[in-house]
Amino acid sequence: MKIVILGAGQVGASVAEALVHEANDITIVDNDRERLAALQDRLDLRTVCGNAALPSILGDAGLDDADLLIAVTQSDQTNLVACKIAKSRFNVPTRIARLRAADFLEDEQLLSDENFAVDFAICPEENITDYIVRLVDFPEALQVLEFAEGRLVMVAVRAYEGGALVGKPVRKLREHLPSQVDARIAALFRQDQPIIPEGETVIHAGDEVFIIAASEHIRPVLRELRRMMRPVKRVMIAGGGNIGYRVATALQQRLEVKLVEHNRSRAEWIAPRLGDTLVLCGDATDEDLLEQENIAEMDLFLALTNDDEDNIMAASLAKRLGCQRVLALINRRAYADMVQGGPIDIGISPAQVSIGTLLAHVRRADVSQVHSLRRGAAEALELVAHGDRNSSRVVGRSLGEIPLPKGVTIAAIVRDLETPEIIGYQGPVGIQAYGHVVIAHRDTVIQSGDHVIVFCVNKKLVHKVEKLFQVGFGFL
- CATH number for the domain including 369? 3.30.70.1450
Domain co-membership, 368 together with 453? yes
Q: Which of 86, 214, 103 has its CA nearest to residue 154? A: 214
* Terminal C-alpha separation, the chain: 25
Look at residue 53 in the predicted model and tell me its pLDDT.
Answer: 94
Cβ neighbors of 194 (< 8 A, separation 6 or more) are 187, 188, 378, 407, 457, 458
User: Which residue among 122, 155, 186 closes a domain?
Assistant: 122
One-character DSSP codes across 288-311 = HHHHHTTGGG-SEEEE-SS-HHHH
Q: Which domain holds residue 427?
A: 355-469
Strand segments (E) across 99-182: 120-122, 143-147, 152-158
- Predicted confidence at residue 336, as pLDDT, reads 67
pLDDT band for position 362 (50/70/90)? Answer: confident
- Predicted TM-score (pTM) above 0.95: no
Give pLDDT, residue 229.
Answer: 64
> Distance between CA 328 and CA 311 in Å, rounded?
6
Q: Picking from 33-37, 154-158, 183-187, 220-224, which range would have the lowest pLDDT averaged per residue?
A: 220-224
Domain count for the chain, please give it.
3
Looking at the predicted structure, is the pLDDT value of residue 223 above 80? no
How do 367-373 and 152-158 pair as beta strands? unpaired
State the CATH number of the domain containing residue 306.
3.40.50.720
Q: Are 224 and 182 in contact (CB under 8 A)?
A: no
Residue 369 and residue 305 in one domain: no
On average, the pLDDT of the chain sits at 89
Q: Half-sphere exposure of 44 toward its Cβ, with a 13 Å CA cutoff?
A: 7
172 against 319, higher pLDDT: 319
Query: Among residues 94, 122, 150, which one ends one of the domains?
Result: 122
Asked, for residue 337, whether it belongs to a domain, the answer is no
Q: Are residues 298 and 405 in the same domain?
A: no
* 295 plus 368 within the same structural domain: no
Residues 21 and 107 in one domain: yes
With respect to residue 345, please indicate whether it lies within any of the assigned structural domains. no
Q: Which residue has the higher pLDDT, 103 or 450?
A: 450
Task: Judge whether 388 lies within some domain.
Answer: yes
Q: Quick check: 384 and 447 in contact, CB under 8 A?
A: no
* 139 within some domain: no
Q: Which of 274, 305, 324 delimits the end of a domain?
A: 324
Specify the pairing of strand 94-98 against strand 68-71. parallel
Task: Give 259-281 pLDDT, tens digit per residue.
Answer: 999 999 999 999 999 999 999 99
Kindly give, in sequence order, each residue whose CB lies less than 8 Å from that of residue 316, ignoring residues fewer than 6 positions away.
Answer: 326, 339, 343, 344
Q: What share of the chain is helix, strand, coil (3-state, %, to 5)?
A: 30, 30, 40
More reliable by pLDDT, 423 or 5: 5
CB 440, CB 413: distance < 8 Å = yes
- Residue 128 belongs to some domain of the structure: no
Q: What is the pLDDT of residue 340?
A: 64
Of 38-52, 327-341, 426-440, least confident by mean pLDDT is 327-341
Answer yes or no: do 363 and 436 share one domain: yes
Q: What is the mean pLDDT of residues 453-459?
A: 89
Tell me the mean pLDDT in the region 420-441.
Answer: 86
Of 95-104, 242-251, 375-384, which one has max mean pLDDT?
242-251
